[in-house]
């Protein structure tokens, strides 16, 4: 029998909020509105709290549980996986963060041609052994959606043209109601000067150029319009929206951030 | 006269917590215990809040103010720079984050040979127009210190040897009292199995190998020991400590986190 | 009919070696020894040459062809995809680079417990319209394998212990014969102080610690041993091997590189 | 006396092309046209070849030599530093790569306001013990210049507007004649739709928007124009130019590459 150093008593009296594993890369399955299941690749962080009297946690158990659940990491099951980790490690709380590219098949606006667009998504959750008001089981979904933005100031002050650029809108939602990532993406794209596409033919490029010029947006506009649109998707207790423009006239970004919610 | 689109009235009634610029890279000067001034290179984010009735902020003013202050970005002056941004943009609050490599000259433990070690540091601050208790001017310093850790479990259960690896300890402190980054780094290194060095001769390598083996530490130990040591540096209202081990027997990290403070 | 600017004549007389698309992220399928097909996520660059008299290339065609082939990107079919791009763009040469994480299920050495290990892989290819000796169709596979290395110098000069760390061995092979990525990975791991695993129980950790201590390796040793081992996998016209150690006593890497081949 | 494991005889008969250190971060000084010296922060890789009969190289010597030279890493002295490493390690060849941000003070085109722009630069060199024709001492400088590009196709096919974006032009030059990085940057910016600036007032933004719209450029145009412009800077034996557009209508890049030279 090998000794269990982690299980020894610790006398420093310092409890740890989080102990666990970080940056584990794994093949995973998530839910997909059109194909039921999407195979993708994730990076996961898994933690529990550690009471002050234990010397260490048992890192291998995080992997054992996650390995079992890797093919059903939908929003509803993610917290069940965390709960299993919490119980397995005899902890009061467990936390998890899972980030992954999510792919959506999109059709070009005029030609209708199909291509895939990658979106950086993340799940984040917390479970606790307490039965308490509004805080013991929390789950968040984040999506980062690339868009095009035309600058309203540049358009207004210039005789012709207007600087525009790729931007990214990052939305984080606390659940709340179930929703499809695909629907959140459409809602965000609808707030930008234009959506972006992996594949555009010449007819599509003309359409996107003109539509975007007709619809200029600051990062401030983007955040405000998304904040106002989110309630159409469901009634979320809390959400945040940030927009970042990779400015075409600068080598830095323009940025805006706001929070909303129904609580 | 060109029209000022940003200054127009907005009727959406969505105030923004943060609006500004992100990922601007700049040459900067910070304070250095041994050489008074250290020239380094930073990446900066600067934001203000935006009341709901303004359409946009004036992004160029952030750069104008920061450009003026780039050669005196010591801890005491960072908040003055933010206050100037706040007033210049007529905002209630201003926020800033500045990350930069900070270099320390270190001597090898036996040979005494000199070399430089790079540490990722950051300043983070907030100023407000309110006069309020304990929250209107906040300043944080973060330092990430690479160290060596020998695994106590591996040492205890193995006939010989013990897996060890590079780890990184990230400390974030709310000021609080002035302190030298160099002193915080020494304090953190003293909690690890061993410090790391850019230059070690054979005598030094023997010393470091044996000293580290004599002093095994989990990420949990590292965080607890640093939490207990920080008060020796000063009385900080709040601080956090995280340790991440780039495990030599895995392709992911072990991680621990805790917070402390005197408030 | 929209005008075709790309198709216009160019008089600058500067031919371009490569024109195309870069950093497109896509869901893909590659071959897997144990499960036939592995779903993973890739980042792809696709280029053709552009003769001096054309103003531009038609970027959308790269995506059209790649989209069709995304579910059969095995080694044998990757060059067929490039050939289709070459013909579609009426070019003399086409080039492609596809990088993706590849996952292998591994068993811990004593407990036998299963977990997945992620490896960064890449395909690289070139096709040409010429019929020429040994150069018109080229295909390369790259694999980056994380391993553990114990330092022979540290072990030899120290009374006890030895610094060790995670390292990474990157092998690039020109085909040549078909082989399974899984077999190349085993061969590389066999040259290190120890393989790494996502999941190790205490018995496994003891085994790995002692086995690695018994088998110290410099980056130089690792490269030489892999160079000598590759011919066991097949007769490759050219290959390169690099090893990088994330030194546990430094904050930089140790590195070695060599090339071999049968031509 | 500690034994010197690296110095032992190796019987595997595998010579190594490169052995050394990688990703060492250091404060450095480079030359600056306007201020004579620029303090910046670099990341350096340093290698020598290793004959087949030596077991290993002495990694600490790379750092010892580099540490001495860190404050005079101008183009002319970089190869002297490599030669000192080569001799110190008794090797036939030494190689070095040093990457660093280089900052240029720029004035906005109408308001004349000053701000700094960061450019990613690199030095790369090789020295050899052979006296041979055109190959024993080689030195390369690379500069990555952010620019704005307006799409000629989008402009030509659309009723109004034109998509545009930030792009980056990477030039690598073999020396050849001495030149100032600042002059190469101006030359590259002159080939784009517009230069980018950290600070633009409203008058400047109008100017940049209209100038860029009047001057649309594909990545192909950018590469060709830079290829044709470089000889104005000097007579370089070899150079490469690549342009990458972070397309505002896609989430991937458009890319072009060509080489030129006087040999």
pLDDT digits (tens, 9 = 90+) for A185-209: 999 999 999 999 999 999 999 999 9
Q: What is the ipTM of this complex?
A: 0.95
Quickly state the pLDDT bin for B134 (edges 50, 70, 90).
low
Window from A19-23, B20-24, C33-37 with minimum mean pLDDT: C33-37
**pLDDT above 80 (res A141):** yes
Contact residues of C toward B, CB < 8 A: 117-118, 146, 148, 150, 153-154, 157-166, 194, 196-198, 200, 202, 205-206, 208-210, 212-213, 246-252
**pLDDT above 60 (res A39):** yes
Are the Cβ atoms of A115 and C202 closer than 8 angstroms? Answer: no
Quickly state the pLDDT bin for D226 (edges 50, 70, 90).
very high
Q: Note the Cα D244 to chain centre separation in Å.
A: 15
> What pLDDT does A132 receive?
63
> Closest approach of chain A CAs to the CA of C238, in angstroms?
31
pLDDT in tens, B211-230: 999 999 999 999 999 999 99
> What pLDDT does C134 receive?
55
Quickly state the pLDDT bin for A148 (edges 50, 70, 90).
very high
Quickly state the pLDDT bin for D1 (edges 50, 70, 90).
confident
Interface test with A, best of D115, D209, D210, D246 (most A CBs within 10 A): D209
Quickly state the pLDDT bin for A133 (edges 50, 70, 90).
low
> What pLDDT does C53 receive?
92
Establish, for the pair of chains B and D, how many residue pairs have beta carbons separated by less than 8 Å: 71
- Rounded (10°) CA dihedral A16, A18, A20, A23: -140
Contacts of D252 in chain A (CB under 8 A): 198
Window from A66-80, B84-98, D206-220 with minimum mean pLDDT: A66-80
Which of residues A178 and A238 earns the better pLDDT score? A238
Q: Taking CA atoms, what residue in D is nearest to B43?
A: D118
Rg (CA), chain D: 22
Contacts of D115 in chain A (CB under 8 A): none
Q: Contact partners of B by the rule of 3+ C-beta pairs under 8 A? A: A, C, D
Residues in Cβ contact with C36 at an 8 Å cutoff, skipping those fewer than 6 apart: none
Token readout for B224 is 């607890």
> Closest approach of chain A CAs to the CA of D50, in angstroms?
35
**pLDDT above 60 (res C179):** yes
Q: What is the mean pLDDT of residues D203-211?
A: 98
> What pLDDT does C32 receive?
87
Give the one of C148, C162, C197 whose C-beta lies nearest to B209's C-beta. C162
D3: how many CB neighbours lie within 10 A of its CB?
11
| Mean confidence (pLDDT) of chain A | 95
**pLDDT above 70 (res A43):** yes
Interface test with D, best of B202, B205, B208 (most D CBs within 10 A): B202
**pLDDT above 90 (res C63):** yes
> Closest approach of chain A CAs to the CA of C179, in angstroms?
22
Are the Cβ atoms of B16 and A256 closer than 8 angstroms? Answer: yes
pLDDT in tens, C24-44: 999 999 988 888 899 999 999
Asked if D260 and D230 count as a contact pair (C-beta separation under 8 A), the reply is yes
Give the one of D38, D103, D199 whose C-beta lies nearest to B64's C-beta. D199
Quickly state the pLDDT bin for C133 (edges 50, 70, 90).
low
Window from A1-15, A122-136, A171-185, C214-228 with minimum mean pLDDT: A122-136
> Closest approach of chain D CAs to the CA of A150, in angstroms?
9
∠ CA C46-C50-C56, rounded to 5°:
90
CA distance D109 to D203: 9
Quickly state the pLDDT bin for D44 (edges 50, 70, 90).
very high
Quickly state the pLDDT bin for C45 (edges 50, 70, 90).
very high
C7: how many CB neighbours lie within 10 A of its CB?
11
**pLDDT above 80 (res B133):** no
Contacts of C119 in chain A (CB under 8 A): none
The DSSP string of chain D is ----GGGSB--S---EEEEEEEEEEEEEEEEETTTEEEEEEEEEEEEEEE-TTBS---HHHHHHHHHHHTT---HHHHHHHHHHHHHHTT-SEEEEEEEEEEEEEEE-TTT--EEEEEEEEEEEEEEESS--TT-SEEEEEEEEEEEEEE-HHHHHHSSS---EEEEEEEEEEEESS---HHHHHHHHHTTSSEE--S---HHHHHHHHHHHHTS---HHHHHHHHHHHGGGT---S-EEEEEEE--SSSSSEEEEEEEE---
Interface test with A, best of B43, B220, B259 (most A CBs within 10 A): B220
Q: How many CA within 13 A on the CB side of residue C146? A: 24
Most confident of B29-33, C117-121, D2-6: C117-121
Are the Cβ atoms of D205 and A154 closer than 8 angstroms? Answer: yes
Q: What 3-state DSSP class applies to C34?
A: coil
Quickly state the pLDDT bin for A134 (edges 50, 70, 90).
low
Window from A76-80, B222-226, C71-75 with minimum mean pLDDT: C71-75
Which of residues D149 and D1 earns the better pLDDT score? D149
Q: What is the mean pLDDT of residues B42-61?
A: 95
Domains plus CATH for chain D? Answer: 15-260 (3.10.270.10)
Q: What is the mean pLDDT of residues B169-198?
A: 96
Torsion sign (Cα): C31, C37, C41, C45:
positive
Q: Taking CA atoms, what residue in D is nearest to B106?
A: D67
- Rounded (10°) CA dihedral C178, C184, C185, C190: 160
Quickly state the pLDDT bin for A136 (edges 50, 70, 90).
confident
Quickly state the pLDDT bin for D176 (edges 50, 70, 90).
confident
Token readout for D10 is 């190796």
> What pLDDT does D64 receive?
97
Quickly state the pLDDT bin for B76 (edges 50, 70, 90).
confident
Q: Taking CA atoms, what residue in D is nearest to B207?
A: D2
| Mean confidence (pLDDT) of chain D | 95
CA distance B221 to B230: 14
Give the one of A63, A198, A206 whose C-beta lies nearest to C2's C-beta. A206
Nearest to D26 by CA among D40, D42, D39: D42
> What pLDDT does C132 receive?
64
Token readout for A129 is 């052994």
Nearest to C71 by CA among C36, C45, C23, C105: C36
Q: Taking CA atoms, what residue in D is nearest to B1?
A: D203
Nearest to B40 by CA among D36, D38, D145, D44: D38
Establish, for the pair of chains B and C, how many residue pairs have beta carbons separated by less than 8 Å: 130
Name the E strands within chain A: 16-32, 36-50, 93-107, 114-128, 137-150, 164-175, 194-195, 239-245, 253-260
Q: What is the mean pLDDT of residues B10-19?
A: 96
Token readout for D134 is 């055109």
> Closest approach of chain A CAs to the CA of D197, in angstroms?
5
> What pLDDT does C88 receive?
95
Q: What is the mean pLDDT of residues B191-218?
A: 98
Window from A160-174, D130-144, D164-178 with minimum mean pLDDT: D130-144
pLDDT in tens, D113-160: 999 999 999 999 999 997 666 558 999 999 999 999 999 999 999 999
Torsion sign (Cα): C150, C154, C158, C163:
negative
**pLDDT above 80 (res C76):** no
Q: What is the mean pLDDT of residues C176-202?
A: 96
Looking at chain D, the whole-number percentage of residues with pLDDT higher than 70 is 98
Which of residues D32 and D263 earns the better pLDDT score? D32
Interface test with D, best of B4, B24, B60, B200 (most D CBs within 10 A): B60
Token readout for C215 is 């088998």
Quickly state the pLDDT bin for A135 (edges 50, 70, 90).
low
Are the Cβ atoms of A199 and C39 closer than 8 angstroms? Answer: no
CA distance A228 to D253: 32
Looking at chain B, the whole-number percentage of residues with pLDDT higher than 90 is 90
pLDDT in tens, A247-262: 999 999 999 999 999 8
Looking at chain D, the whole-number percentage of residues with pLDDT higher than 90 is 90
> What pLDDT does C135 receive?
59
Interface test with B, best of A41, A57, A220 (most B CBs within 10 A): A220
∠ CA C110-C116-C122, rounded to 5°:
130
Q: What 3-state DSSP class applies to B63?
A: helix
pLDDT in tens, A60-71: 999 999 999 999
> What pLDDT does C136 receive?
84
> What pLDDT does D135 receive?
59
């Amino acid at each position: 029998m090998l000794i269990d150093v982690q299980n020894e008593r610790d006398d420093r009296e310092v409890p740890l909020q989080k102990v666990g594993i970080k940056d584990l890369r794994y093949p995973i399955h998530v839910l997909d509105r059109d194909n039921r299941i999407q195979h993708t690749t994730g990076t996961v962080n898994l933690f529990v709290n550690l009471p002050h009297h234990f010397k260490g946690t048992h890192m291998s158990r995080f992997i054992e549980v996650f390995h079992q659940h890797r093919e059903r990491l939908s929003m509803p099951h993610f917290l069940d996986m965390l709960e299993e980790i919490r119980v397995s490690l005899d902890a009061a709380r467990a936390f998890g963060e899972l980030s992954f590219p999510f792919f959506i098949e999109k059709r070009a606006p005029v030609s209708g041609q199909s291509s895939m667009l990658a979106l950086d998504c993340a799940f984040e959750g917390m479970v606790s052994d307490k039965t308490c008001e509004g805080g013991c089981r929390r789950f968040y979904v984040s999506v980062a959606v690339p868009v095009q933005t035309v600058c309203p100031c540049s358009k207004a002050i210039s005789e012709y043209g207007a600087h525009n650029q790729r931007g990214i809108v990052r939305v984080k939602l606390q659940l709340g109601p179930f929703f499809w990532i695909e629907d959140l993406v459409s809602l965000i794209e609808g707030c930008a000067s234009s959506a972006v596409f992996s594949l555009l033919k010449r007819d599509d490029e003309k359409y996107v150029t003109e539509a975007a010029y007709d619809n200029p947006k600051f990062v401030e506009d983007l955040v405000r319009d998304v904040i106002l649109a989110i309630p159409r998707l469901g009634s979320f207790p809390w959400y945040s929206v940030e927009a970042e423009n990779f400015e075409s006239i600068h080598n830095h970004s323009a940025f805006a951030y706001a929070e909303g919610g129904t609580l």
